[in-house]
Amino acid sequence: MPLIRARGISKKYPNGSGNPTLALEDFSLDVGKNEFVSIVGPSGCGKTTFLMLVAGLERFTDGELLLEDKPVKGPDPAHAIVFQEYLLFPWRTVWQNVEFGPEVRGLSKSERTQLVEKYLKLVGLEGFEKRFPSELSGGMKQKAAIARALANEPKVLLMDEPFASLDALTRELLQRELLRIWQQTEATVLFVTHSISEAVYLADRVVILSPRPGKIRGILKIDLPRPRGSSILTSTEFIRYEREIRDLVWNEGQRN
């Protein structure tokens, strides 16, 4: 049974003209437990919209969306989301930011302490517990945001271009860190990116969307060994996957 099941999802946004904007159309996708799925496509094709639907932060117009065979009806700790913007509370320390979700869930102080220690260690932020976001680098802020999401122990981790604003070296480092973290948790990851190479490097499967309204134009299984080091980026297989995805994206773009 898929962890996430989307069937015939459509999403319309109202606008002043009286003709709603169709962001997604007839979107169907199954995602398995502990699977890492990347979603790529042109700007405005509905990638983020789908994440927001899975997170329960938006309602779809038509179709069916299930998580563990239950309808997604609204926000839930089972679906944690990490955005491109770090969205940390600036008045709270790293520790307090990561503790926020368990605190809202009503966990005891000792339970919260165990979770915060566990996930700060997992993302490599030990020793920075008392720092405020303004005292952290961009990469460290995103690590804190990931730790905060994981502290809710979500079944689904939704990531909306989380590394897009980082420099190339930090981005590559955090890609490796994300894979390490994912392999040590049981979370299923849906990862939105504009970078084809990032999508291939991280994912078990890559979903390619058409220009708006977003429709699935292809799903490519990435049959590359794990764990994945930097040497894989220059392999023949990796380059072939990049080319296949790029051809789907650009050929589709030219037809529209």
pLDDT in tens, 87-129: 899 999 999 999 999 998 899 999 999 999 999 999 999 999 9
Tokens matching residue 197: 């190479």
Do 193 and 219 sit in the same domain of this protein?
A: yes
Do 235 and 134 sit in the same domain of this protein?
A: no
- CB–CB of 180/187 below 8 Å? no
Q: What is the CATH number of the domain that holds 175?
A: 3.40.50.300
Do 158 and 148 sit in the same domain of this protein?
A: no
Q: Is the dihedral of CA 80, 86, 92, 95 positive or negative?
A: positive
Q: 163-176: per-residue pLDDT in tens?
A: 988 888 889 989 99
CA-CA distance, 200 to 240, in Å (whole number)?
10
Tokens matching residue 195: 């970078």
- 1's CB contacts (< 8 A; 6+ apart) are 68, 69
Tokens matching residue 182: 């994912």
Locus of tokens 């904007």: 21
Domain that holds residue 219: 4-78+154-255
Task: Name the pTM for this structure.
Answer: 0.91
What is the count of structural domains for the chain? 2
Tokens matching residue 243: 């080319």
Cα of first residue to Cα of last residue in the chain, in angstroms, is 35
